[in-house]
Copies of this chain bind each other. A is one copy, B any other.
């Protein structure tokens, strides 16, 4: 008898029809003589709606109280799913984060799981129950409710799988796996059967939305076998494991949510760059890359996420008004695959394609399993398609 963890995201739970599909998927696994732990997110748009309601009461809601509010979303999901499974004749019991023994740091809104006391989960499994655990939430050492931040339910699932030494951790969503590129942009994008943890980490960091990167880090650390799949079909998904194979490029992704910022000032001052970096970090703006273009005058370029642009513009007006500034929406294309660092042909080919298309490159970064090219402009899907065609 194997213990397995199944995780279902919010869009898989959005209405009663979908809840029934999820329940039947769980029952399929249960009938194969497994001990089952299910981790769920909040239904559909619940979390977004709760955030909206809180913002109607306060432009900057207290973070401790936000976590009390948001954690109700998953609590509603777990109880509904347990009610449904019980009605279908399968013994099921729901556990909130604190009942499931999920202890976290006390950073409300972005807490990290520190420890899982699996006693209650194991007792309920031993009693023959399907155990349904609220994802995304836990408690800190003061017994205050915490949440793990967006995508945190993946992390809950993998952490429980690690703590309980589960044979598999299935992450179900509305896509059935990780693709060699975004299927919405590239017609011949194909599903990847196997990825190593490092490859998946690189993809998550580049914005592939299949798995939260914190969850992949934990899976890597505790060697948890992750299988991704679709809630709505039985296709084989992508397996994320510790197998390492010398390989070609497995996936190419493009991130258009970046802004290239250039700041200039006539008088150069050696301390200025430090001060700039300090201002950015103090305001929770983390530049993805920062380059000093000159030695005689101050001429610094860096990239930030589009989501930080508003904050940065405020900062510029408030503290950095001495600089002349320029903003451009740019792209980063990343090729992911184990061993890319040793494959000069791939790097050459990629740069050649950029060159043929007269793309003005801002930076190139080569890592163990990733080649990232940051451009000085937003580039179109045709180039992505060409890279995909030539390299995959």
Contact = CB atoms under 8 A, between A and B. Distances in A.
Interface in A71-87: 71-72, 75-76, 78-80, 82-84, 86-87
Interface centre among A62, A79, A82, A143 (most CB of B within 10 A): A79
Given A72-B75, A98-B98, 16 more contacts: A19-B57, A54-B79, A54-B83, A57-B83, A57-B84, A58-B83, A58-B87, A64-B93, A65-B83, A65-B93, A66-B79, A68-B75, A68-B82, A69-B76, A71-B75, A99-B143
Contacts of A99: 143-144
B53 A80 contact: yes
B58 A84 contact: yes
29 contacts: A16-B56, A50-B76, A54-B80, A57-B80, A57-B84, A58-B86, A59-B87, A60-B87, A61-B86, A62-B82, A62-B83, A64-B93, A65-B79, A65-B82, A65-B83, A65-B94, A66-B79, A68-B75, A68-B78, A68-B79, A68-B94, A68-B96, A69-B75, A71-B75, A72-B72, A72-B75, A72-B76, A75-B75, A99-B144
A87 B71 CA distance: 21
B69 A83 contact: yes
Contacts of A71: 75
Contacts of A94: 65, 68
Contacts of A54: 79-80, 83
Contacts of A143: 99, 120
Contacts of A58: 83-84, 86-87
Name the residue among A19, A57, A66, A120 with the largest chain B CB count within 10 angstroms: A57
Contacts of A86: 58, 61-62, 65
A61 B72 CA distance: 19
Interface of A: 16, 19, 50, 53-54, 56-62, 64-66, 68-69, 71-72, 75-76, 78-80, 82-84, 86-87, 93-94, 96, 98-99, 120, 143-145
Q: Majority SS of interface residues in chain A?
A: helix
A103 to B, nearest CB: 14
Nearest to A61: B83
A120 B139 CA distance: 15
A80 B87 contact: no
A60 B94 CA distance: 17
A59 to B, nearest CB: 8
A65 to B, nearest CB: 4
Contacts of A83: 54, 57-58, 61-62, 65-66, 69
Contacts of A66: 79, 83
Contacts of A60: 87
Contacts of A87: 57-61
Query: Most B CB atoms within 10 A — which of A50, A58, A60, A144?
Result: A58
Contacts of A93: 64-65
A69 B82 CA distance: 10
Nearest to A68: B79
Of A62, A83, A87, most buried by chain B (CB within 10 Å of CB) is A83
A282 to B, nearest CB: 24
A59 B88 CA distance: 11
